[in-house]
């Protein structure tokens, strides 16, 4: 009988799908928080208010939500984003979903944390257009209804600071994670969670080498110390028509941050999760379909001409990376003094 | 004993506050719906999706929500609204809260119903900027995820039409009502719901004559047939400095709709509810504080120089017209095809 059980168990293990390989990991149900900014319900609520508040932009029209729409893919469904006064930026809005799992933020990894990232757009002239972060803080202070919330979360005489606002926004963003996709359920043992084609696509992704970079639970690279982005050159192989057709080398990427030639066209590796919601693709939003994105990545990063079947299989698998978006209640924003915006 | 009860009851009635006068009415807990567009949960959910969807604007940046922010006062906290490409309109966004109780929509009453109103902004070049309502419908049809929702609510082969989209949006808007303000609780019999100052302000509002126009449960005029706006001349008395200081006659109001001289400076009477959330005030958003708004209205409409005490009392009362904003879950919007926006 013991032998029988041992035999059965060994059979189960032998017949287990490839998902049991260590490379395939499910997304955790919670995102880690830094020691100096623990996630609390009150902080998340305040952060949600700030995240949705367009009054943090110069003319009151642009909020975090504008370009990172959490009712959809956490981006803005545009090739590149539009900030105050109708100004278009140069890059595609990265999704906020699961950004909490990244070791650095922005396409070029120039912000170490979600807290740092939140301090970028407010004073960017073509994003939220405030003259400075001090002006942003003054704007928040001019809305009396915010003070009780900041006081309750952060205490102190001067609870409304940019650092605290950024901490609250980051705390909210750490709740924006999408576990339990079909892929996650499959990894956790539900062998019915993926279709045969999706399993083939998953294998193809590994065989071609995509998962060398798009690795780990968030398919965005290995765990790295906070602030150290997982960077790769894109395109790695530039001897193909895609580079010109999609203007893939027009933006120097990381070199804009470090100003060192070796950083030219380096980019933070993006997550593969929820891609069904985040078209168009690439740092410049130039690629309209997931089929094209997969084909282009195979060629430019691996010098592989993926077959139609391989592309279809991988796209099918990527569809299995759409997770459960948490239900969210709308925040209530405090009233506006009539002299806030002219 | 029976006599005793009768005596007690008569005492209660005799001591009842003035709120029992028929002019003071509580806001109903539900808004009426037209016979051809009954409110259903599925329709409301679809309408909420469309209401929050910026993809219904030319460049994907402006939704109904942009100018009618239901996380706040149902307006956009700006003097006048900003649409696509940073273009400013000429009027202050009217609140969507309790708009369901109005007999006509827009400041000049040019739309008979919420359904008609919803068909205004999409093809307005400085609001949502689509080239036509047909283009708006095509945009919605190009997002595959919407079809099952339209089919479920409206059925038929061609369920996605502008009329149906407008019906869904209107159905959602009929849920945007704010009963149970302190005033409403007072009218319903809770004599502690208002402060003494608020009761004085309420009496002042009636004594000065404000409630001649700001009448009935929504403080926006008497019940009128659908499509017939309750219009008043503003300013009625123009021999005062407010008219020039706040440019009150620069916009001809209703005359822009009818092109008849007698409609010059006629405006739909606005609700007094939730004014604490809807600064700045007036059709052009020129008045920053509620104190000034009350003082200006008393002078321009009643030729009354309201005293500081009267103004303070009325402002206190108006604060009691902030109702309970219904808790709302965020909608989930269907994914964007990569070629939706260029």
Q: What is the mean pLDDT of residues B249-277?
A: 98
pLDDT (tens digit per residue) in A284-332: 999 999 999 999 999 999 999 999 999 999 999 999 999 999 999 999 9
Compute the radius of gyration of chain A from its Cα atoms.
22
Q: Nearest C-alpha of chain A: how many angstroms from B201?
A: 21
Cβ-in-10-Å burial (0-12, 13-18, 19+) of B9 comes to exposed
Does residue B288 surpass a pLDDT of 90?
Answer: yes
State the smallest CA–CA distance between residue B258 and chain A in angstroms.
31
Backbone angles phi, psi at A24, to 5 degrees: -95, 110
Contact B61 A82 (CB under 8 A): yes
Tell me whether the CATH fold assigned to A41-173 matches the one assigned to A182-319.
Answer: yes
CA distance B319 to chain A (A): 12
Q: Please give the interface size between A and B, counted as residue pairs whose CB atoms are below 8 Å apart.
A: 125
Distance CA A310, CA A315 (A): 9
Superfamily of structural domain A182-319:
Cytochrome c-like domain (1.10.760.10)
Domain boundaries, chain A: 41-173, 182-319
Phi-psi region of B274 (alpha: psi -120 to 50; beta: other; left: phi over 0): left
CATH superfamily label, B41-173? Cytochrome c-like domain (1.10.760.10)
CA pseudo-torsion sign A84, A85, A89, A92: positive
Contacts of B332 in chain A (CB under 8 A): 71-72, 325
Q: Please tell me which residue of chain A has the smallest CA distance to B68.
A: A61
In this prediction, residue B342 carries a pLDDT of 75
Indicate the pLDDT class of residue A20, thresholds 50, 70 and 90.
low
Contact criterion met (CB < 8 Å) for A71 and B333: yes
CA-nearest residue to A284 within chain B is B342
CB contact under 8 Å between A73 and B340, yes or no, is no
**Residues contacting residue B9 through CB under 8 Å, at least 6 positions apart:** none
Quick check: A53 and A149 in contact, CB under 8 A? Answer: no
| B121 φ, ψ (degrees, to nearest 5) | -65, -35
Lookup: tokens for A222 = 């290995």
CA dihedral A124, A127, A128, A130 (to 10 degrees): 30
Please report the pLDDT score of residue B23 as a whole number.
85
Residues of A in contact with B79 (CB under 8 A): 341-342
* pLDDT tens for each residue of B192-231: 999 999 999 999 999 999 999 999 999 999 999 999 999 9
Pick the range with the lowest mean pLDDT from A220-229, B4-13, B103-112, B206-215. Answer: B4-13
B278-287: per-residue pLDDT in tens? Answer: 999 999 999 9
Chain A hits for B333, CB-CB cut-off 8 Å, are 69, 71-72
Other C-beta atoms closer than 10 Å to the C-beta of A41 total 10
Provide the pLDDT for residue B15: 41
- B20: pLDDT confidence band, cut at 50, 70 and 90? low
* Ordered alpha helix ranges (H), A124-254: 133-141, 147-154, 162-173, 182-187, 196-208, 241-245
Per-residue model confidence (pLDDT) at position B6: 47
What residues of B are in contact with residue A142 (Cβ under 8 Å)? none
Q: What ipTM is given for this predicted complex?
A: 0.93
At residue B157, the pLDDT reads: 86
Determine whether the interchain pair B338/A70 forms a contact, defined as Cβ–Cβ distance below 8 Å.
no
pLDDT over 90 (residue B7): no
Query: Helix, strand or coil for residue B111?
Result: strand
**Arithmetic mean of pLDDT, B80-91:** 96
Q: Which of A45, A115, A127, A173 is catalytic?
A: A127
Residue B19 has pLDDT above 80, yes or no: no
Residue of A52, A59, A77, A178 to mutate when probing chain B, most B C-beta within 10 A? A77
pLDDT 10s digits, A121-152: 999 999 999 999 999 999 999 999 999 999 99
pLDDT by residue (tens digit) across A32-86? 999 999 999 999 999 999 999 999 999 999 999 999 999 999 999 999 999 999 9
Run of H or E including A314: helix A308-319
Residue B4 pLDDT exceeds 80: no
Write down the pTM of the prediction: 0.94
Q: What is the pLDDT confidence band of residue A6, given thresholds at 50, 70 and 90?
A: very low
Contacts of B196 (CB under 8 A, 6+ apart): none
Structure tokens that stand for A285 in this block: 């939003």
Instruction: Indicate whether B9 pLDDT > 50.
Output: no
Cβ separation of B72 and A341 shorter than 8 Å? no
């Amino acid at each position: 009988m013991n032998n029988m059980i041992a035999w059965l168990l060994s059979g189960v293990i032998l017949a287990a799908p490839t998902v049991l390989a260590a490379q395939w990991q499910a997304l955790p149900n919670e995102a880690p928080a830094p020691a100096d900014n623990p996630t609390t319900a009150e902080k998340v609520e305040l952060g949600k208010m700030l995240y949705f508040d367009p009054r943090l932009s110069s003319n009151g029209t642009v909020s975090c939500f504008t370009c990172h729409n959490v009712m959809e893919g956490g981006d803005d469904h545009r090739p590149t984003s539009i900030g105050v006064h109708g100004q278009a930026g140069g890059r595609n809005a990265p999704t906020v979903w699961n950004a909490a799992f990244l070791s650095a933020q922005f396409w070029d990894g120039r912000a170490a944390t979600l807290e740092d990232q939140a301090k970028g757009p407010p004073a960017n002239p073509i994003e939220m257009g405030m003259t400075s972060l001090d002006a942003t803080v003054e704007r928040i202070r001019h809305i009396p209804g915010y003070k009780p919330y900041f006081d309750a979360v952060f205490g102190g005489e001067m609870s409304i600071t940019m650092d605290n606002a950024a901490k609250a926004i980051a705390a909210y963003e750490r709740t924006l994670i999408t576990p339990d996709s079909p892929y996650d359920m499959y990894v956790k043992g539900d062998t019915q969670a993926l279709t045969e084609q999706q399993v083939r696509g998953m294998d193809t992704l590994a065989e071609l080498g995509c998962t060398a970079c798009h690795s780990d639970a968030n398919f965005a690279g290995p765990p790295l110390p906070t602030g150290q982005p997982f960077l790769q050159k894109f395109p790695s192989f530039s001897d193909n028509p895609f580079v010109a057709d999609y203007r893939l080398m027009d933006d120097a990427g990381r070199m804009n941050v470090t100003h060192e030639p070796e950083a030219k066209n380096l980019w933070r590796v993006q997550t593969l999760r929820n891609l069904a919601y985040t078209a168009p693709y690439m740092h410049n939003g130039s690629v309209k379909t997931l089929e094209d994105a997969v084909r282009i990545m195979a060629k430019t990063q691996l010098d592989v001409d993926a077959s139609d079947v391989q592309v279809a299989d991988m796209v099918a698998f990527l569809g299995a990376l759409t997770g459960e978006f948490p239900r969210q209640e709308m925040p209530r924003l405090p009233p506006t003094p009539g002299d806030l915006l002219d």
